[in-house]
Every structure is written in structure tokens, then in C-alpha cells.
């Protein structure tokens, strides 16, 4: 494919590509048990796929938005690769968590801007809606990760054997918190963590309420307009 065909491909399947990239990034641990391989090889590949999956979301955006996305994408790739050269691993992971939270928050904002546009329910809307939920999990997981590396006492029950295990535990915890399941095997250990987890739960429920309103509005709009 030439450049124009690549552009049309990423634009046509922008949310499907992002959805696949987010699913494999969050849940690759289901089929991968080698945490060292995950940290050294799979993680950078995952982020390349997430970066590629987010290309279509920003194709029709302004120049500053595309540049900011590119800068954040470079940082989320380069920072983890610099870990072997860092003397303060905990401090480095804290900064990585901050940058990843900003990166996924930036994509989440663009997805929400797309969802609230007037229109009808179609394949892109459904894919974007699922992407929004997965991006919330990413944001929550990396936000909690930043708190954990700042003070390990903030979360009890996290397997702190290595960064990959910590991340997977926090993806699990963020998911059950947003889904309001709460098994209790991982729990906040400080007042700050309790408040942060409360906000994550509220954000998840608010997202579902807003999403249902958006989908109902689009469905109603389609029925009102009738067939064309």
C-alpha cells in the first residue's frame, strides 16, 4: 500500500485498531507467564502497537494535537528502555507512570470528543465506546502505579516482585474497581489511596451513565431522522 492507502486504512479502522491494541496491552498476561520477557520485549512491542493504533484517532486533528501525541508516544517508548541505566528504579517508574497516565488520558479525551458528536450508532461508535472503557482502565492503572512507586504502603496485596507483576496486578485492581466488583484481595492502605480508588469508581460509573446517554441520544436521533 502507498502512503495514501495507509492513511485511508488507519482512518477507516481507527477505533478497531485502537481497541485491539488496548486489549493486547492490558490482557497479554493471560497467555504470558515470563515476566522478564514481558518487561524487556513484549512491553515495547505492545506500546508500538498502541501508538500505531492511535494514529487514526489523530489523523484529522490539529497540528499541535498530533505533535503532542507524537511527543508523548516517544516518551512512553523511550522511558521504559532507559530503566536498566537508572540507579533509582522506583523514581524512574514514578515518572513513567505519570507520562503513561498523560498519554492514555490524551487519547481518552479524543475518543470522548468523537463519542459526543451528533450522529448515528455504527461500528466506530461501538469500538470507540469499548476503547473509552479500556482507556479508563489504563489511566487508573498507571495513576495507581505512580502512587505505589511513590509509597508502597498505598496499596496492600500487590505482587511487588517486578514491574510487570505490579502493572498486571494494578490492571486487575483498576478493572474490578471500575466494574464495582471489589474482591478485597488488593485494597488501598492510606487515606490518599482510598480517595483515589473512590474517584476511579466514580469515574467508571460516570462514564457508563454518559455513554448510555450518548448511545440513546444517537439511537433516538436516527429514528427521528428516519431512513434517507
pLDDT tens string 193-228: 999 999 999 999 999 999 988 888 877 765 555 554
E strand or H helix at 149, and its extent?
helix 123-150
Please tell me the predicted confidence (pLDDT) of residue 153. 92
Task: DSSP for 27-72, please give it.
Answer: HGGGT---HHHIIIIIHHHHHHHHHHHTTGGGTTS-HHHHHHHHHH
Whether the pLDDT of residue 86 is over 50: the answer is: yes
Among the listed ranges 19-23, 65-69, 84-88, which one has the minimum average pLDDT value?
A: 84-88
Please tell me the predicted confidence (pLDDT) of residue 167. 94
Whether the pLDDT of residue 94 is over 70: the answer is: yes
Please tell me the predicted confidence (pLDDT) of residue 144. 96
Whether the pLDDT of residue 117 is over 70: the answer is: yes
Among the listed ranges 11-20, 79-88, 107-116, 176-185, which one has the minimum average pLDDT value?
A: 79-88
Amino acid at each position: 500500500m502507498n502512503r495514501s492507502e495507509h492513511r485511508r486504512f488507519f482512518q477507516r479502522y481507527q477505533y478497531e485498531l485502537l481497541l485491539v491494541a488496548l486489549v493486547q496491552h492490558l490482557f497479554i498476561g493471560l497467555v504470558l507467564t515470563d515476566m522478564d520477557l514481558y518487561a524487556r520485549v513484549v512491553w515495547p512491542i505492545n506500546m508500538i502497537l498502541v501508538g500505531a493504533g492511535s494514529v487514526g484517532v489523530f489523523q484529522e486533528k490539529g497540528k499541535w494535537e498530533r505533535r503532542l501525541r507524537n511527543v508523548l508516544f516517544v516518551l512512553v517508548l523511550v522511558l521504559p528502555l532507559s530503566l536498566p541505566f537508572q540507579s533509582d528504579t522506583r523514581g524512574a517508574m514514578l515518572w513513567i507512570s505519570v507520562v503513561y497516565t498523560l498519554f492514555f488520558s490524551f487519547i481518552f479525551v479524543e475518543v470522548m470528543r468523537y463519542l459526543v458528536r451528533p450522529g448515528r450508532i455504527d461500528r466506530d461508535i461501538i469500538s470507540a465506546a469499548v476503547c473509552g472503557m479500556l482507556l479508563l482502565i489504563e489511566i487508573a492503572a498507571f495513576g495507581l502505579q505512580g502512587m505505589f512507586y511513590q509509597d508502597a504502603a498505598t496499596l496492600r496485596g500487590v505482587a511487588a516482585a517486578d514491574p510487570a507483576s505490579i502493572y498486571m496486578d494494578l490492571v486487575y485492581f483498576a478493572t474490578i474497581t471500575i466494574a464495582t466488583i471489589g474482591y478485597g484481595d488488593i485494597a488501598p492502605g492510606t487515606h490518599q489511596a482510598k480517595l483515589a480508588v473512590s474517584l476511579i469508581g466514580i469515574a467508571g460509573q460516570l462514564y457508563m451513565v454518559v455513554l448510555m446517554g450518548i448511545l440513546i441520544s444517537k439511537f433516538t436521533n436516527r429514528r427521528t431522522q428516519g431512513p434517507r
